[in-house]
Chains A and B, each alone.
Chain A
Amino acid sequence: MVQYPSKLIEEAVEAFAQLPGVGRKTALRYVLHLLNQDKGITEKFGTTLTRLQQDIKYCRQCFSISDHEVCAICSDRSRNKELVCVVEDIRDVMAIENTQQFRGVYHVLGGIISPMDGIGPNDLEIDSLIQRIASGSVKEIIMALSTTMEGDTTNFYIYRKIKDFPVQVTTIARGIAIGDELEYADEITLGRSILNRVPYDVPTASGKA
């Protein structure tokens, strides 16, 4: 065990080393760097972190991370509130937003069903999704979860809960990636693409959802 010259340094190193992908050596580098900064900078660094957990809110409509009671996307008047995209977490919201192809709103589940990891439907924002649909303002639900077995379990579970509501349920397309040559596509994806082929559409200027 390395001896640190100061108890304060040691505590700070311990704290940084808790971060994913950070070991003790890297932690010490961070600590010494912060120590050498102007006083204001390091202080701001500290308060930023303190405020992070204190002030962050979860949007009460879509459960995405937000600064306000209702997030920027949900409060945007130009977005189509009848179209709801169901995703696993905030990273997926960011990924879909980057496509600039989606003008609806989101519903963030906060995970997917995986009993192995101790995550059941009650740990996720599924009941709130059902309430949202029951309120009658939603016309289409887009399931945009990972194409893993656990993603399928969650899709299946949600579908069963909402299938009696007058709402259309769709899922994001699965198949060959854009720009891929068929020769290099894996057999399972290619096989699935053949089975789930779609009617040919003459390319036009793409409209946004």
Chain B
Amino acid sequence: MHLKSLHLVNFKNYEQADLVLSERLNLFTGLNGSGKTNILDAVHYLALCKSFLHANDSQNIRYDEPFFVIQGDFASDSGVEQSREEPVYCGVKRGQRKVFKRNNKEYDRLADHIGLFPVVVVSPQDSVLITGGSEERRRFMDTVISQFNRSYLEQLINYNRVIVQRNALLKQMNDGKAGNDGTLEILDLQLVQFGTPIHVARRAFIRELLPFFNEFYKSLCDGKEEVELIYESRLNEHPLDLLLEEARNRDKMLLHTSVGIHKDDLSFSINGHVLKRSGSQGQQKTFLIALKLAEYVFLDRASGKKPLLLLDDLHDKLDAERVERLLQIVCTNRFGQLFISDTGAGVLEELFRKQEISFKAFEVHQGGISER
């Protein structure tokens, strides 16, 4: 599937915009603050019902306007028999519930829409995966896995609930109030019940992701650097029941649960050193791009649908050579429809022609878009 057209009303800095898109590559160029990223964000809205910039819905309404509307038509890729078109509508009115429709029919649950049109975003915001706490990296795993593993999210919610109960119990036992070791043992059993499948799913996910990640990083850096991505979990060595038993006395002093899948992390390294400290900005960015492209290939294989790929601010921190190699990768037929934003057009259009890829270039200027 690809997005054939996009229509905006009062979305962020656009009063109105109507675009007919290329099935393959769409380039949006313009000066700072002109609204390039907002176009990509609108595409993200149609796919996942929300912004990728973490703003809440009503913050995306144009100043002093009462509502915004995003509409788009998804269509089967050309060459596919039985072409279909599916209009998707997203409307937000101040102070009201978001309205989301596909084929003119409103959804009861937004969750039903998610996964129909998968999307992968590469944006400067990704850097929190490296600089942020381990919860960011767990969230990355959880978001991808729960898109194709239906029971994963339920297990995660239950697991987190048991953790809250267990920590409350540890505090009560410390205060000498209600609670005993018997209850603690039961909660440990439940942590094992919910936590073990989560660990299995995460380990399998990273194991499948790794070959693609390594391949993409290698092509991006032209084989000059060695990177490593490791899933760190105490459950890799010992089963959770053993770990919890071992930690029980320590947990009673700490008053929280010190082992479990809520302590998992991903470790990123470059040439044998910690990426966060030793990697240059460009190397860190390259690492994140390789990770996102691997996520793309993974989702494609898991769902059988090529996601939309949004590359926000293509030149962000990358040198010219890496930008060219990135384009070489995404212009192959392993990838589907692309949306790229960047400040300058000249060099890129040259590169696209070199890759012999059909594309549309849009010039963005303060709330207006024109095709060139």
What is the interface of chain A, defined by CB distance below 8 A to chain B? 113-116, 118-123, 149-150, 152-153, 156-157, 160-161, 187-188, 191
The answer on a CB contact under 8 Å between A120 and B165 is: no
The answer on a CB contact under 8 Å between A120 and B179 is: yes
The answer on a CB contact under 8 Å between B179 and A115 is: yes
Shortest C-beta distance, A189 to chain B (Å), equals 11
The answer on a CB contact under 8 Å between A160 and B183 is: no
The answer on a CB contact under 8 Å between B165 and A122 is: no
A118 to B186, CA, bound (A): 16
Indicate whether B177 reaches chain A with its CB closer than 8 angstroms: yes
What is the interface of chain B, defined by CB distance below 8 A to chain A? 150-151, 154, 158, 161-162, 164-166, 168-169, 172, 177-180, 182-183, 185-187, 189-190
A119 to B150, CA, bound (A): 32
Given A120-B180, A121-B182, A160-B182: A149 and B162 interface contact (C-beta under 8 Å): yes
**Closest A residue by C-beta to B194:** A149
Given A150-B165, A156-B189: A113 and B151 interface contact (C-beta under 8 Å): no
Q: Contacts of A123 on B, CB cut-off 8 Å?
A: 178
Given A115-B179, A157-B183: A152 and B190 interface contact (C-beta under 8 Å): yes
The answer on a CB contact under 8 Å between A118 and B187 is: no
Q: Contacts of A187 on B, CB cut-off 8 Å?
A: 150
The answer on a CB contact under 8 Å between A122 and B178 is: yes
Q: Contacts of A157 on B, CB cut-off 8 Å?
A: 182-183, 186
A113 to B184, CA, bound (A): 11
Q: Contacts of B177 on A, CB cut-off 8 Å?
A: 118, 120
CB < 8 Å: which of A113, A118, A152, A188 contacts B154? A188
Secondary structure call for the B interface: helix
A156 to B191, CA, bound (A): 13
Given A153-B190, A191-B151: A121 and B161 interface contact (C-beta under 8 Å): no
A149 to B168, CA, bound (A): 15
A116 to B166, CA, bound (A): 8
* Subset of 7 A-B contacts with CB under 8 Å: A115-B166, A118-B168, A119-B178, A149-B158, A153-B186, A157-B186, A191-B150
Q: Contacts of B189 on A, CB cut-off 8 Å?
A: 156
**Closest B residue by C-beta to A161:** B182
The answer on a CB contact under 8 Å between A116 and B165 is: yes
- The CB with the most chain B CB atoms within 10 A, among A122, A153, A160, A188, is that of A153
Q: Contacts of B162 on A, CB cut-off 8 Å?
A: 149, 153
Q: Contacts of B179 on A, CB cut-off 8 Å?
A: 115, 120
Q: Contacts of B187 on A, CB cut-off 8 Å?
A: 153
Q: Contacts of B172 on A, CB cut-off 8 Å?
A: 115, 118, 120
- The CB with the most chain A CB atoms within 10 A, among B151, B164, B177, B183, is that of B183
The answer on a CB contact under 8 Å between B168 and A116 is: yes
Shortest C-beta distance, B81 to chain A (Å), equals 28
